[in-house]
Amino acid sequence: GQQVMQIPQYQHVQEGEDFTTYCNSSTTLSNIQWYKQRPGGHPVFLIQLVKSGEVKKQKRLTFQFGEAKKNSSLHITATQTTDVGTYFCADYMDSNYQLIWGAGTKLIIKP
């Protein structure tokens, strides 16, 4: 079945450095959704990408959907302590109304 691979599993950065997490699939992704889960919290919906090559920005966060719709990325510029948490991508499949989740990337700010 459909699988969404997300890398890296963890990323340690200094505050102020950039952060990127990638989602990949061997098959075409339908609609990519991104969620953020703060430590001890619940996942919070960030954005949905639908179109091939789509790029959306939310302040320091940039979301991209690949031209072939087989990958997506989330890039955070100049990380802040408030960015700490786990970022999940998920493919929303119109055919069966299901979200296929990536394993998440944990953003850790080095002290």
Partner 1 sequence: DSGVTQTPKHLITATGQRVTLRCSPRSGDLSVYWYQQSLDQGLQFLIQYYNGEERAKGNILERFSAQQFPDLHSELNLSSLELGDSALYFCASSPEGGGSNYGYTFGSGTRLTVV
Q: 29: which residues sit within 8 A by CB, 6+ positions away?
A: 4, 23, 65, 69, 70, 71, 72, 91
Contact between 92 and partner 1 by CB under 8 A: the answer reads: yes
19, 25, 29, 35: residue in contact with partner 1 (rule CB under 8 A): 35
Contact between 7 and partner 1 by CB under 8 A: the answer reads: no
Contact between 24 and partner 1 by CB under 8 A: the answer reads: no
Residue 1 contacts residue 98 (beta carbons within 8 Å): no
Contact between 41 and partner 1 by CB under 8 A: the answer reads: yes
* Integer Cα distance of 48 and 81 in angstroms: 24
Strands 98-101 and 19-24: unpaired
The tokens for 64 are: 């991209």
Q: How far is the CB of 65 from partner 1 (least distance, A)?
A: 14
Contact between 55 and partner 1 by CB under 8 A: the answer reads: no
Contact between 97 and partner 1 by CB under 8 A: the answer reads: yes
The span of 12-20, 27-35, 65-73, 77-85 binding partner 1 (CB under 8 A) equals 27-35
